[in-house]
Structure 1
Amino acid sequence: MKRAIANPQARPGANLPPAQLAAVRRAIDTHCERPGALLPILHAVQDALGYIPPGALPLLAHELNITRAEVHGVVSFYHHFRSTPPGRHIVRLCRAEACQALGARSLERHAKQVLGIDFHETTRDGAITLEPVYCLGNCGCGPSVLVDADELHARVTPDAFDALARRAREVAA
């Protein structure tokens, strides 16, 4: 059941750009009748936009008849969800035990230093977002790195990481 809006000028989602509003509405329309609809909606929004715009939270709360705090709590609890646009490339470093045993912690420190960012951050040039992941299914060949969603790299050394980062920046430019 939808809530009445006291001030139509303050309509939830009114501050979103039209393309973002359309993507959020599509996600709502597709998943709103499902039990536990919030997570599928959030995944659909992030899949469409690359992140969950903060301006979408009031609209999601209104449409699902839950509080903004509940929506914010879910978005902020799950590290998968981003509230800012990601870089043009997402680099995921495996942090699972098998990769750690093969040097992932050292690679993680190197990556953060080279990129000048921490996990869940994006380089100043907007080229790379660094994300942790807890298994890429490449356990015997760690440390492993996934660039975007389709480029898996095994036995990544600091030099190999530097080459991946350089290539991502060149492609992003």
Structure 2
Amino acid sequence: MKNFLISIKLTLVLIVLCALVFPVLIAMVSKLAPGGGKGETVMTHGRVVGYAKVGQKFTADKYFWGRPSAVDYNAAGSAGSNKGPSNPDYLKTVQDRIDSFLVHNPGVKKEEIPAEMVTASGSGLDPDISPASALIQVNRVAAVRRIPAGKVKALVEEHTEKPFLGLLGPSKINVLKLNVALDELR
């Protein structure tokens, strides 16, 4: 009976700690994060157009495209394809993406396409692309929007985030923020 009472007391203490104290503590800490724990939203003209840390689907030629998504950019089902480079279905999917990219970006050679533009990420929700992936799309976006390519390239350079402390991580560009800035450019 003595061990039974100790077990009950320990269970109640752990329930209070794990089910009440810990979630409240995490909720309080999240208020310090960008967006107050609700995610970092991107707004234009007073309305939310998306979340900065979740990839968005852009397929129109007037926009920069992000990485392909194995889950069609569904944040509720974040996942990769789990297919390896020897899988014939995966190789066909990648080849289809290459062919599509070449059709929409005339003048680009297959070997110039950054791998990230034709392969999905592990989460399927990458919000960022490399500067090389953005720069290879500049001519398409500029031609469709009838904007000088130099102006679009300058916008890409303006939205390039450098590595943290100048050495941690790669340079990157948030596709949603870049496309919002592109829409506001005139």
Larger-gyration structure (1/2): 2
What interval of TM-score do these two structures reach, taking the shorter chain for normalisation?
under 0.3
TM-score of the pair, normalised by structure 1: 0.24
TM-score of the pair, normalised by structure 2: 0.23
Query: Larger relative contact order (C-alpha < 8 A, sep ≥ 6)?
Result: 2
